[in-house]
Amino acid sequence: MTERITGIFNILATPFDANQAVDYDSLRRLVNFQINMGTDGLTILGVLGEAAKLNVEERQAVMQTVIETNVGRVPIVVGTSHADFDTCVALSKSALDAGAEGVMIAPPRMPEASDDDIFDLYQRLAGRIEAPIVVQDYPKINDTYMSPKVIARIAEQLPHCRYLKLEDPPLMEKTTAILERTDKIKIFGGLGGMFLLEELKRGTSGTMTGFAFTEILVGIFQAFNSGDEARATAIFDRYLPLIRFENQPEINLTIRKELLYRRGAIANANPRKPFIEIDSGTQDEISWVLERVGISDPTQAIIL
């Protein structure tokens, strides 16, 4: 199992221009921005990356642009989930051929799936994709529940599937339930980093999230990993109002893109339609919460 998939992985946004086309210049700028903010890796074409709004050709172009811009500086995990099994496999092989470290795959919509159904899906995937697979556990997007038992079984029996992006609350309880069953899995949190500190205390290996201030999460992770839990807690508590505000249900994507725009990382803040706009009051609240946590210039990296 590669040790390069660990730590803080930024879920990269996909920038669009005023005409809703993919903005590849902003995408290149965003890759460099996140690397400069200290991210340990990039996860692209996830939910935050609006992969569901891109056609296959756009997904391929985004992947190629990110990998070429990265030039090997950090490991890249590519989201390749697709309702069609063969398309998922083709996207995965294309990503790996282009230089991705691994792929992230959520099950298609399987609301009545048994543990055996889930295991069989990843067994089939592992038989076709000979590289690290990050299992994405996010039932909100696919109505598919994966039990701790089947996740542990996947990790124990499928060596390529020993990474998990866990976004199925209660997060910490599920983390413990999985790790009590296997020591062959690396678990990554998500959900905007809202529970990063608690997740780390339960034994996770990092997080994959689109929080706009990557360097804050990196600071928390590095402090915790070095044994300085007090410092990790102090950083987390200081910036928790921003983490909480950014991750509001329904408008979290729009807020995150607005923050990336204010940071100078992308040229246009709008997601691709359909999306929920934020009103002038929310715009004012973004400025207010930045002031509350002491960020006077969002274009500058936070010095922790």
**CATH for 7-235?**
3.20.20.70
Please choose, from the candidates 39, 44, 74, 73, the residue with its C-alpha nearest in 3D space to the C-alpha of residue 222.
39
Q: What is the C-alpha separation between 119 and 151, in angstroms, rounded?
A: 8
Query: What pLDDT digit, counting tens, does each position of 154-169 carry?
Result: 999 999 999 999 999 9
- Tokens found for residue 239: 């910036």
CA 184 to chain centre: 21
pLDDT (tens, 9 = 90+) of the chain, 304 residues, equals: 458 999 999 999 999 999 999 999 999 999 999 999 999 999 999 999 999 999 999 999 999 999 999 999 999 999 999 999 999 999 999 999 999 999 999 999 999 999 999 999 999 999 999 999 999 999 999 999 999 999 999 999 999 999 999 999 999 999 999 999 999 999 999 999 999 999 999 999 999 999 999 999 999 999 999 999 999 999 999 999 999 999 999 999 999 999 999 999 999 999 999 999 999 999 999 999 999 999 999 999 999 9
CA 83 to chain centre: 20
Q: Which residue has the tokens 């940071």?
A: 263
CA distances from 302 to 23, 69, 140, 272 (A): 26, 24, 32, 29
For 101-210, strand residue ranges (E) read 102-105, 133-137, 163-166, 186-189, 206-209
Query: What pLDDT digit, counting tens, does each position of 176-187 carry?
Result: 999 999 999 999
